[in-house]
Structure 1
Amino acid sequence: MPKKEKKKDYAGVMPKKGWVKRNIHFFGRRIFVQVFKKRLGEAKHAVLDPPAEGIARITWIGHASFLLQFADHSVLIDPNWAHWHGFVKRQRNPGLGIKFLPHIDLVLVSHAHFDHLHKKSLKIVDSREGIIVPKGSRKLVERLGFHKVYEMAIWDDLKFDDLTITHTPAHHWGARYLHDTHRDYGGYIVKSGDLTIFHCGDSAYFEGFEEIGKRHHIDIALMPIGAYNAPSGRDVHMNPEEAIKAFLELGAEYLIPMHYRTFPLGNEPDNEPEERLVAEAKRLGLEDRVIVLDEGVGIELEGSYSSAGENI
């Protein structure tokens, strides 16, 4: 990782002052109580037929996992069907059954963290074009059954017929373990025809969102809004107000939230991210542009600043 980029956008791995107290709260108030709660929600069958030309069907599976369906392509991002990550219990079931997906053309993984690059889920998924990972993560996925593995550096492009993927920067870190800090991290621009979807990956707020928006017109931004009260105290995730600020700097038409509700990874209460997001959207008059999805329920949207606007 270049020194300049590391200084600017790398969150580091060392906790901040007060991390012991924050972790005691995290384990006592967040982790322990979740162990005894029933997991909510149920898996649905994906809609197998592709949407019409010029329309994207977006289905939130949970956490940062999305199924994107276009007329000619289906893309799966950060697929994760895990019920546990170590001692962290999944609070809501995946919205789609992993064995009832449409044919997948391409899989994207935003970074190497266990909740985004989940090997057991990736082993089950098949894709026609293979899998894309950030630079430095090839070895983590090359034995998972994909016939082709692509590594991307920031601002790299890959083209598959009329589907174009661009790897975008973020303020986060990509180490799967403490020592492998060489791994890259970021988000993706997914462009099919005139439709452009931005999956942010994991990121704190940083000045790079404006640059992403200058380079790409974005119809739909999939933005993380949870885990902002990190037990480590590090600046690694956005809060809901920062997510909306980033959304406006991107110049996107719609915001769909993610990275909340599924795994308790921060000290904020379960309902707080969504409540704060809705309140900030109302304060700024953006209610019609912020779309809160339920897991497994697809929404179809058109590009060019117009909406098909119907849940399916």
Structure 2
Amino acid sequence: MMIPAVIKDDEFIAQVQQYENDKKHFHLWWLGQSGYLLLWQGKRILIDPYLSDSLTKKYAGTHKPHTRMSERVVNPGSLKHISIVSSSHNHTDHLDAETLIPVIKNNPGITFIIPEANRSFVAGRVQMPEAYPAGLNEGGHLTVDGFTFYGIAAAHNAIDRNGKGECLYMGYIIQFGNYTVYHSGDTLWYAGLEKILRTFRINLALLPINGNDPARGVAGNLNVQEAAGLAKAAGMQHVIPCHYDMFTFNTANPADFADSAQAVQQAHTVLPIGGHWSSESL
């Protein structure tokens, strides 16, 4: 039995529409894994969405089955009025053709933000011209439809770069109105990361908690203690954990994260699959 989404499909779309006229607060929904839909003043952006069973199908019958744990929140083909979609790196749970191709098709004029280093690979995966994505590197920024994205290096497991020095793995600081959100992508806590992040005065951080276990055969992430500790060290106002409850071989217990956050007095929220959060909570 999979973990049910608290809201999905048409009811999910209707709930997003319910908050479109809120001019004061922004709203966020967890789509599973590291995927989110963010709504601010009627503008919608998607962050690292994975809304298919492509990895389950790809690894069926192998030594590393990607057995899905939770329901899909929404069909990507039904997501409309999206201004921006982002990918933090090339792993399929963050760059999924079966999610991105219908999103791009159904949202003319959408901006697709990626690490510049991954341009050729990304264009091939989503079947678009190489010039199509908007590339960012560490220290760079770009503004689209009132949202400014800043590139932050991510270590998954190391800060890997191409021959031009461009990062293969990225996180994004997203600023809009009076708010600042940090989506780390997949990363470990590398030396100096908390100092970089502290300068942005982050209101909300979206951090992975599945940890770094080489036995899984995949690159690692922050664990529950590290996610809570990084948020506290970087002065983040609030944190929501992610990158768990998608695949049975690579997950974590969010209750352990909540315990770790409470231990360091870090404000946090654990969302259910499809769960909604509002900046009114800040």
Tell me whether 1:277 sits opposite 2:257 in the alignment.
Answer: yes
Tell me whether 1:135 sits opposite 2:98 in the alignment.
Answer: no
Deviation, 1:101, is 2.7
Aligned to 2:162: none
TM-score normalised by L of structure 1: 0.74
Distance 1:233 1:161 in 2: 39
Deviation, 1:54, is 3.5
Determine if contact 2:138/2:167 at 8 Å carries over to the other structure.
no
Distance 1:264 1:232 in 2: 11
Find runs of 4+ consecutive structure 1 residues off by over 3 angstroms: 145-148, 232-235
Tell me whether 1:125 sits opposite 2:88 in the alignment.
Answer: no
Q: Alpha carbon RMSD of aligned pairs, Å?
A: 2.6
- The aligned runs of 1:1-312 (5 Å cut-off) are 38-42=1-5, 43-44=8-9, 45-46=12-13, 47-48=16-17, 49-50=19-20, 52-85=22-55, 86=59, 87-126=65-104, 127=107, 128-142=109-123, 144=126, 148-172=132-156, 184-231=168-215, 236-266=220-250, 272-286=252-266, 289-301=267-279, 308-309=280-281
Distance 1:66 1:256 in 2: 11
Structure 1 unmatched ranges of 5 or more: 1-37, 176-180, 302-307
TM-score normalised by L of structure 2: 0.81
Distance 1:72 1:156, change over 3 A: farther
Deviation, 1:98, is 2.2
Determine if contact 2:229/2:261 at 8 Å carries over to the other structure.
no
Deviation, 1:265, is 4.0
Distance 1:51 1:237 in 2: 36
Distance 1:117 1:141 in 2: 8
Structure 2 unmatched ranges of 5 or more: 60-64, 160-164
- Tell me the SS of whatever aligns to 2:149: strand
Distance 2:247 2:263 in 1: 28
Distance 1:174 1:213, change over 3 A: closer
| Percent identity (aligned) | 24
Distance 1:81 1:293 in 2: 17
Deviation, 1:228, is 2.9
